[in-house]
Amino acid sequence: MRRAHAVEWVRAAEGELIARLPEGTLMQRAAAGLAATCAELLREGVPGRVYASRVLVLAGSGDNGGDALYAGARLARRGARVRAALLAPARVHAGGLAALLAAGGRVTDDLAEAERADLVLDGIVGIGGRGPLRDTALPWVDAAGRGAATVVAVDLPSGVDPDSGAVPGAAVHADVTVTFGTHKPGLLVDPGASYAGVVRPVDIGLGEVRGAGADGEALSTGASGAAGRSLRGADTTPLLLDGHVVEALQQEDVAALLPAPDAESDKYRRGVVGIAAGSARYPGAAVLAVGAALHGGVGAVRYAGAAAREVVRAHPEALVGEGGPKDAGRVQAWVVGPGLSQDAEAERAVEEALDAGVPVLVDADGLRLLARRGAAPADALLTPHAGEAVALLAGIGVTATSAQVEAERLRFARELARGYGCTVLLKGSTTVVTGPHGPARVNPTGTAQLATAGSGDVLSGLAGALLAAGLTPLDAGSVAAYLHGLAGRLASGGDVPVAAGAITAALPEAWRRSCHSGGATG
């Protein structure tokens, strides 16, 4: 599991450590890790060596600038030609600047340095950053973007909000981000994540106080007994003092969660999923959802609705009926909503699925109908895209646009989970799955190739099957998003457009790679 901790947690952990260590130790650890990564990048790329390479340090007014200046000093001692642009000269980290100058580095205000550098170190702002990048930084960020330098962000790309991943203005596009102690949520959630490049955690010893590795691996258990304590009010994303706030499933986590039949399994024990989707006008949604559900690890898929004939023609394995969920026979979970339309019959299907007493995944038209209720059963899984999230938010009295939802996914997904009292999977460039409490999961496997009509129906069928197979709504949603993303990548091979049916066709291979070690992306 990859875990990210909120800024307040990082500050608290660092505070404990700083009190025990000689002054400056943490910054020296950070700078050493940073310089080692930069040296490696200079040796691997252009110019192929550290000696005589051109390095530009962008130093802001806080400790993030200090890290960058000390790392610059280390590179200068190894023969690099290091220049530093001081964005707030009066407040620059004095020790860092002195170290750089003593090592032979120089201060510059020549923007051309950014364009001819081999490597740019972004130390403008780190976890202390708030709001859009200030004007003094913008010409340097632009110039670094124009040049061919490898851009290394210190702790996180400047301009990315550390806790939310929001990017309220210009931000540094990094090739590599060297992050200290633990991931920050903004590195795992878009739009911020797309500015971070490859993220390399550096261990600065947070584990000495909390049992954590460089990845913050063991931080979730906490040592002080205050796990889960919220530092903020109930209406915002909670910052858990002793726990991570965001996590991303890795291949081994998915392998452990995937349902597998055993010797005693039969088709009913494996779970049966019911799909109430499609309509005379949109039969395709039913066909796609059922098709994906058939690959979702259940023993059988029941279909209930107006597209029964189309469904059985496409998938003879499905058990179909033209009535609603009430008449369909026993299932262990329902999927309701894709392509359902919003007429009285659709409304009835949603009611019946919600009243069935089993976990229910609500998607698409089902969500718009659910918004009128403003509440859902605790074991429901809602799967909105940003537009549907806006309608759901309106149902609980929150006004937001889809652009706002996309800018702050963690916050709005959490607000929906709290408002409806269930689990929410917010689709998009970073899919977020969260319940009302506990860490939110972000999906690491997505690809923009998934943005194709019917792709959401595939996800619904798959996640519904995993629910019926016995996974919790959080696990079902996050495992489905993982497999769906991986299938999308496999189907597209990176840059070939895919149709939704091709995502389904790639699900078995995505599943195979996920249950064997070393096969998947993440």
Ligand X SMILES: Nc1ncnc2c1ncn2[C@@H]1O[C@H](COP(=O)(O)OP(=O)(O)O)[C@@H](O)[C@H]1O
Judged by CB under 6 A, the stretch of 63-71, 113-121, 481-489, 491-499 that binds ligand NPW is 63-71
Q: State which residue has the least CB distance to ligand X.
A: 456
- Judged by CB under 6 A, does residue 277 bind ligand NPW? no
What's the token pair of residue 232? 């903020």
User: Closer CB to ligand X, residue 37 or residue 383?
Assistant: 383
- Judged by CB under 6 A, does residue 89 bind ligand NPW? no
- Judged by CB under 6 A, does residue 26 bind ligand NPW? yes
Does the annotation place 127 within a ligand binding site? yes
Eight-class DSSP state of 133? P
Judged by CB under 6 A, the stretch of 98-106, 118-126, 274-282, 471-479 that binds ligand NPW is 118-126
Eight-class DSSP state of 216? -
- Judged by CB under 6 A, does residue 63 bind ligand NPW? yes
What minimum distance in Å lies between the beta carbon of 87 and ligand NPW?
A: 7
> Which residue has tokens 């859009």?
132
How far is it, in rounded angstroms, from Cα 173 to Cα 122? 10
What minimum distance in Å lies between the beta carbon of 91 and ligand NPW?
A: 6
What minimum distance in Å lies between the beta carbon of 178 and K ion?
A: 9
Task: State which of residues 14, 67, 118, 122 lies at the interface with K ion (CB under 5 A).
Answer: 122
The answer to whether the beta carbons of residues 277 and 336 sit under 8 Å apart is yes
What's the token pair of residue 177? 């981000």
Contacted by 122, from ligand NPW, ligand X, K ion, none: CB < 5 to 8 Å by type: K ion
SS (H, E, C) 223-282: CCCCCCCECCCCCCCCCECCCCCEEECCHHHHHHHCCCCCCCCCCCCCCEEEEECCCCCC
Does the annotation place 475 within a ligand binding site? no
The enclosing H or E element of 314 equals: helix 308-314
What minimum distance in Å lies between the beta carbon of 53 and ligand NPW?
A: 22
Other C-beta atoms within 10 Å of 203: how many? 17
SS3 138: helix
What minimum distance in Å lies between the beta carbon of 150 and K ion?
A: 15
β-sheet bridge partners, residue 86: 59
How far is it, in rounded angstroms, from Cα 425 to Cα 23? 44
Other C-beta atoms within 10 Å of 45: how many? 15
User: Closer CB to ligand NPW, residue 154 or residue 358?
Assistant: 154
Other C-beta atoms within 10 Å of 24: how many? 13
Does the annotation place 197 within a ligand binding site? no
Does the annotation place 428 within a ligand binding site? yes
Write out the DSSP string of 325-339. GGGS---SEEEE-TT
Does the annotation place 67 within a ligand binding site? yes
What minimum distance in Å lies between the beta carbon of 487 and ligand X?
A: 11
**Site residues, ligand X (CB under 6 A):** 364, 385, 427-429, 431, 446-448, 450-451, 453-457, 459, 484
Task: State which of residues 39, 75, 99, 125 lies at the interface with ligand NPW (CB under 6 A).
Answer: 125
User: Closer CB to ligand NPW, residue 175 or residue 252?
Assistant: 175
Does the annotation place 431 within a ligand binding site? yes
What minimum distance in Å lies between the beta carbon of 495 and K ion?
A: 30
User: Closer CB to ligand NPW, residue 160 or residue 476?
Assistant: 160
Judged by CB under 6 A, the stretch of 94-102, 120-128, 224-232, 349-357 that binds ligand NPW is 120-128
Q: Report CA dihedral (252, 257, 259, 262) to the nearest 10 degrees.
A: 70
First-to-last C-alpha distance (Å) of the chain: 10
Angle between helix axes 409-420 and 386-395 (nearest 10 degrees) is 40
User: Closer CB to ligand X, residue 222 or residue 454?
Assistant: 454
Site for K ion in 135-174 (CB under 5 A): 153-154, 158
Contacted by 63, from ligand NPW, ligand X, K ion, none: CB < 5 to 8 Å by type: ligand NPW
Amino acid at 20: R
> Which residue has tokens 């038209």?
365
How far is it, in rounded angstroms, from Cα 118 to Cα 34? 16
Q: For residues 130-161, b (16+ Cβ closer than 10 Å) or e, as one string?
A: eeebbeebeebbebbeebebbbbbbbbbbbbb
Residue ranges at the known binding site for (6S)-NADPHX: 63-67, 126-132, 155, 285, 339, 385, 457
Residue ranges at the known binding site for K(+): 64, 122, 158
Residue ranges at the known binding site: 63-67, 122, 126-132, 155, 158, 285, 339, 385, 427-431, 456-457
Contact set with ligand NPW (CB under 6 A): 14, 18, 26-27, 30, 60-65, 67, 124-134, 137, 154-155, 180, 204
Contact set with K ion (CB under 5 A): 122, 126, 153-154, 158
